Amino acid sequence: MQNVLFIFKDLPWYHSYILNKFSYSYHFNEYIINNNLNKTSQGISEEINSLIKEKKIEIIFFDFDYTSIIDKFFVNKIICKKKILVSFDPHENHKKIQDSLEYFSHLLIAEPEYAEKLNLLNQNCFYFPLEANEKIFFNKKTKKNIDVLFFGELKADRKIFIEKIKKLNINFHSHINSRETLDDNALVDLINRSKIVINFSKGVNKYEKDEYYQFKGRILISGMCGTLCLSEYSKGQDLIFKNNYPTFKNSEEMITIIKSLLNNEKNLNILTNNFFSECKMFSDTEYFSKIVKFLSLENNKNILDKDDKINHISIKNRIKIFSKKSSSKVLLKETANIFKNLKNNLSLKNMYLIIYLSVIFLPFWLQSKIKNNKKK
């Protein structure tokens, strides 16, 4: 099998899903940035390039979400034929993604609507469901003795919906922060025992405070377990499902649909069976081969390959990360490397960045020294 490399910022909660998914078609290699912060970002990129050369890797995946040294400047230092941006939270990381598109040959996005928007911009983008392992999420065909199930975070705006469900004379189960309280086996058992799973699509960008409606993995895993997911509306559902399944836009619609579904068992069973069949199409065994085919296709997009200079956002992120997660010695080396690169390419912009680097370095360096002294 072909060698591929997946670069993670840290060891994420979804690590096993990625490992299992890629193991179907590739020989999976990984590199975890935060485990290697005893080296500078330059040292890390050089080590990764050595690994790529040694194992003859032609496809590399970057876990690109949120603050990390994995930014467009880091990606530009990695030498590989195909560079794949992977995002499981594109709405939250919109600016970072948009600013970095020209550095990647392909994009894998866990949000159908966002993937569609990127394709309209002539980007090579493909929908990439995360939680889709049919060996974990499957239909046990057990008796359904729970009417409605909710699992996940109980954000403020969701409390209104949940309180209204509680007032119904039904068997309702709610599991808050389920990722911390339920393992996959327990969760699958609960979903299988439920007639309806409730999903909320609304999110709020923590950087810009804009609202968005996201296609959640909860929808697919419920369907794969043989249970209908009644979801708050998001465009993603229209994009990936051929059939129309009930959705709601407010709490009143949600309650009306719950009552209608529970009062018409025949209709609920028909919807559930159709939903199961469609969700199963996105399981790893059935869908990942399409991702492999997408990545194998040659395209006309040229990856940007120039010595792009670092900006103030990346400078701040790197100084902050190394001050918190590395030693003061490595932080000093990282800062010196940034200073040297700016000085060797002196311009009015870089003079400003040198001043900016000098200003932010000292407090973070002092913080790092205090932290390291406490460990001694």
124 and 175 housed in the same domain: no
Residue 306 lies in a domain: no
Single pTM value for the model: 0.93
Residue 303 lies in a domain: no
> Three-state SS for 67?
coil
CATH for 218: 3.40.50.2000
Q: How many domains does the chain have?
A: 3
Cβ-contact 74, 45 below 8 angstroms: yes
- d(C-alpha 161, C-alpha 266), whole Å: 26
187 and 152 housed in the same domain: yes
266 and 349 housed in the same domain: no
Q: What is the pLDDT of residue 68?
A: 94
Q: Which domain holds residue 44?
A: 2-130+288-296
Q: What is the pLDDT of residue 375?
A: 65
Q: What is the pLDDT of residue 305?
A: 62
Residue 305 lies in a domain: no
Cα–Cα distance list, 282 to 25, 28, 99, 220, 275 (Å)? 16, 21, 29, 8, 12
Residue 240 lies in a domain: yes
Q: What is the pLDDT of residue 177?
A: 80
103 and 173 housed in the same domain: no
Residue 141 lies in a domain: no
- d(C-alpha 145, C-alpha 273), whole Å: 17
66 and 158 housed in the same domain: no
- d(C-alpha 284, C-alpha 26), whole Å: 13
Residue 302 lies in a domain: no
At which of 296, 329, 360 does a domain end?
Answer: 296
Residue 192 lies in a domain: yes
Tokens at 197, concatenated: 């799973």
Q: What is the pLDDT of residue 136?
A: 96
Q: What is the pLDDT tens value at each position of the chain, 376 positions in all?
A: 999 999 999 999 999 999 999 998 999 999 999 999 999 999 999 999 999 999 999 999 999 999 999 999 999 999 999 999 999 999 999 999 999 999 999 999 999 999 999 999 989 999 999 999 999 999 999 999 999 999 998 888 899 999 999 999 999 999 988 778 899 999 999 999 999 999 999 998 877 778 999 999 999 999 999 999 999 999 999 999 999 999 999 999 999 999 999 999 999 999 999 999 999 999 999 999 999 999 998 765 666 565 567 899 999 999 999 999 999 999 999 999 999 999 998 899 999 999 999 999 989 988 887 776 666 5
175 and 88 housed in the same domain: no
Q: What is the pLDDT of residue 374?
A: 67
Amino acid identity for residue 82 in this structure: K
Q: What is the pLDDT of residue 176?
A: 87
How does 74-112 read in b/e, with b if 16+ C-beta sit within 10 Å? Answer: bbbebebebbbbbbbbbbbbbebbeebbebbbbbbbbbb
124 and 192 housed in the same domain: no
Tokens at 142, concatenated: 């057990």
Tokens at 6, concatenated: 């997946």
